Structure 1
Amino acid sequence: MDLGKALARARTDEVPGPDMPAAPMVPDWPGPARRLPRAELGQLDLRELLRLSLAAADGTGRLRPAPSAGALHPVDAQLVVGDNCAMEQGRYGYDPLCHRVHRLGAAPGDVLPGVAVELYAIPQRTEAHYGHRAWPLILLDAGHAAAALWLAGRALGAGAPALDLEGAGEQPLAVVHFAPDWGGRRRGEHGLRQGEGAGRMADRNPHQAPEPRDLLARRSTPPPLNGTLTRADLLAVLTTAQQADAGELSWCVAVGAPEPELVELAPDGALRRLAAGEARPTLAAWAAGQRWIADAGAVLIGYGCPSDADAERIRRTHLRAGFAVGRAHVAALQRGLASRPVGSWQQADLGAALGRAPEQDWIVHGLALGRPEEGT
């Protein structure tokens, strides 16, 4: 599969065909399903980590802590378990519908202590509905799953995991590795690696971990998402996304009344104007014609990934975009905001619209924002 051609086609205004039969929501993992055991003091708590990140909240598998385009969830997780975990070493397939694992085999000889969660794409789940527009959405979904794992670890008091979102290979798309330092520090005492901060969150410490209830309550708010956001709201969400993406994208926010404009972060961390004028109707047209976006309180936008990007860069940029919007989504929730990721974009050459060179700065991902009390 030529990812460059797939992305170029997804960016056109070609409409997908009729729905096709979808792949099952869970692979037919071999062997018996095993319960995730309780963790002892100092062990990685895999049961809670997966419950707060990837486990389904309903029998259909559509409702999960990690968002997914069309609630199709095209990302499966395999666990590579090393020492200092509640489970024996080995490779396991995770079933998010029943919150169980299946042993797939032995761990590799060079397995690290702790656990590596490998994220694999099952394209047919998303292709069944989105057709040729599927691959950008699949990559974004994998980034959201990585963000959900990162946030779950933070909520449970783990140190920041090692992230492989480089896009170097086709499978697995991403890996999130948790070292076995679980329980060594109480929640709120652990630090953050540079560039991995969680942004400002309402009246909390700017880098305080989310609560488990924040992650379980995360939902994509149905439209409309109206209302006026404060400058502090915009700064918090924009800062969270920009800190999370490791420099892969540029970020801005489109806002409406009383002064329609695009704003971005200045080098000193303050908001500054990127462009004047109303951008939301154009964003609505670019986002598969979702008209409600034109009235959203604000729209966070990550852009970059030029037309000549190779497959590795396409994967890396989209994985990081999903990771960043996943983090920003929870930061918005913690501030009491309504929010909804927007992943499907056609002809969305933001750079050209801003008078820059064309085909260099395409919109990769977005997050529509509003205030719940003003959403009707």
Structure 2
Amino acid sequence: MEDLREDPTTGLAAALARARSPERPGPDTPAGTAVRPWPGPPRPISEAGPADLDLGALLRLSLAASDASGRLRPAPSAGALHPVDTELTVGAGCSLPPGRYGYDPLRHRVHQVGPPVDGTPPGVTAELSVTAQRTASHYGHRAWPLLLLDTGHAAAALFLAARALAAGEPDVRLDGRTENPLAVVRIPPPDGRSPRCPAETGVPPAPGELLARRSTPPPLPGLPPHGALRAVLATAERAGDGGLLRWCAAVGPPRPGLVRLAPDGTTLRRYAAGEARPTLAAWAAGQAWLADAGAVLLAHGCPTDAGAAHIRRSHLRAGFAVHLAHVTALRHGLAARPVGSWQQADLGAALGAAPGRDWVVHALALGTRHADEENST
């Protein structure tokens, strides 16, 4: 098994360059345990009091497995390998006593790994890290971008769960400055006020909406309506950390090309003509079905010379934004599926710009008809 630990200087940049290359992964290797071996006995998450943050509900709506295999969870993951590990620092106002806990998403239990921490604010702070072996077992040297994207999706799932439970204002840290943890999400207890409707999500999601969301199996045919595609692009741009990433969508007939959100935020404008979806299918590890997807939302940026912090931040933010865009797509009745593995996907160079400056980082395939509907016709 190859060593996927980051080097503090050049390791992550070299890993990303190799992941973007046409080199194919070798045979599968053992994935190891599906859950980090937390010390101590497991314990259930207590029922929440009327003014407490319900940690059991929060984790069920965001990270918990809903089937015996552990594959089905509210947050998507490349290959359903779920490498993200979650450690909770719990303060006052929660359904667990203050302390540090490791979360087991397969059994929906916690393990106490440390005593209360002085100065811990009320609520819970979730630190997200990864066990790289799980993803590398199938994707080999292509694992690091996927690990970062998966972490961004997990952070977004916690963010949305907090919104659904009308918790206090979540604080999401995806700055890319540290390798461990990769992301931090702090959620205060409910403050008794009506939940805000931030631009990233609009109306807070209902718990059932979060539990029901899944990645649609391909194919995903059917061009999304203009309004739905505009809403998906707007959600991604607002959640994507300003100018760090750029966003567009590849669409097919009757006017194939690339579209992006106009500066007014209310319309779409074309900025490249021509059919891009077959090229995207080749770049996306040869996933041929993408050539017939109704549209493909693209996050692009992260130049070749980006440092480790920039790489982490770009990919974490892309995962976070695509997750929120996925929820917006489902609200508009679309079929949707995240696509995370990209090789030789230099979008800027393909459009005539300088090479190495504008790579595809993440994507969301969109359609109007689900696979089961398509197969029945």
TM category, shorter? over 0.9
1:233 to 228, 239, 252: 228
The equivalent of 1:158 in structure 2 is 167
Alpha-carbon offset, residue 191 of structure 1: 4.0
SS where residue 139 of structure 2 aligns?
helix
SS where residue 128 of structure 1 aligns?
helix
8 Å Cα contact 2:239/2:321 also seen in 1: yes
The equivalent of 2:193 in structure 1 is 185
- Name the CA distance, whole Å, in 2 between partners of 1:117 and 1:102: 14
Alpha-carbon offset, residue 38 of structure 1: 1.4
For 1:133-282, what aligned pairs fall within 5 Å after superposition? 133-180=142-189, 182=190, 184-186=192-194, 189-192=195-198, 196-198=199-201, 207-247=202-242, 248-269=244-265, 270-282=267-279
| TM-score normalised according to structure 1 size | 0.94
8 Å Cα contact 2:197/2:203 also seen in 1: no
The equivalent of 1:201 in structure 2 is none
- Name the CA distance, whole Å, in 2 between partners of 1:375 and 1:367: 19
1:375–1:236 distance in 2 versus 1, CA, 3 Å: farther
The equivalent of 1:324 in structure 2 is 321
Moved over 6 A (4+): none
8 Å Cα contact 2:329/2:336 also seen in 1: yes
SS where residue 41 of structure 1 aligns?
coil
For 1:36-47, what aligned pairs fall within 5 Å after superposition? 36-47=45-56
- Residue 369 (structure 2) pairs with residue 369 (structure 1): no
SS where residue 286 of structure 2 aligns?
coil
- Name the CA distance, whole Å, in 2 between partners of 1:375 and 1:144: 28
2:363 maps to a residue whose letter is G
The equivalent of 2:115 in structure 1 is 106
Alpha-carbon offset, residue 135 of structure 1: 0.3
- Name the CA distance, whole Å, in 2 between partners of 1:17 and 1:146: 30
CA-to-aligned-CA distance 1:128-186 (integer Å, 9 cap, x gap): 00000000000000000001011111111124310110011110010000012x15134
1:283 to 274, 280, 283: 280
1:375 maps to a residue whose letter is E
1:56 maps to a residue whose letter is A
8 Å Cα contact 2:200/2:324 also seen in 1: no
- Name the CA distance, whole Å, in 1 between partners of 2:57 and 2:34: 21
8 Å Cα contact 2:197/2:204 also seen in 1: no
8 Å Cα contact 2:172/2:184 also seen in 1: yes
Alpha-carbon offset, residue 197 of structure 1: 2.1
- Name the CA distance, whole Å, in 2 between partners of 1:159 and 1:86: 15
What's the C-alpha RMSD, in Å, of the aligned pairs? 1.2
8 Å Cα contact 1:18/1:129 also seen in 2: yes
More divergent stretch after superposition (106-115 vs 315-324): 106-115
1:83 to 82, 92, 117: 92
Instruction: Kindly tell me the number of residue pairs found equivalent between the two proteins.
Output: 362
Alpha-carbon offset, residue 39 of structure 1: 1.2
SS where residue 34 of structure 1 aligns?
coil
8 Å Cα contact 1:227/1:375 also seen in 2: no
2:309 to 308, 312, 316: 312
- Name the CA distance, whole Å, in 2 between partners of 1:102 and 1:317: 32
The equivalent of 2:44 in structure 1 is 35
SS where residue 312 of structure 2 aligns?
helix
- Name the CA distance, whole Å, in 2 between partners of 1:156 and 1:217: 16
Alpha-carbon offset, residue 109 of structure 1: 1.9
2:105 to 86, 96, 99: 96
| TM-score normalised according to structure 2 size | 0.94
2:260 maps to a residue whose letter is E
- Name the CA distance, whole Å, in 2 between partners of 1:315 and 1:108: 28
CA-to-aligned-CA distance 1:270-311 (integer Å, 9 cap, x gap): 211121111000000000000000000000000000000000
Tell me, which stretches of 5 or more residues in structure 1 are unaligned? 199-206
Percent identity between matched residues is: 63
8 Å Cα contact 1:214/1:333 also seen in 2: no
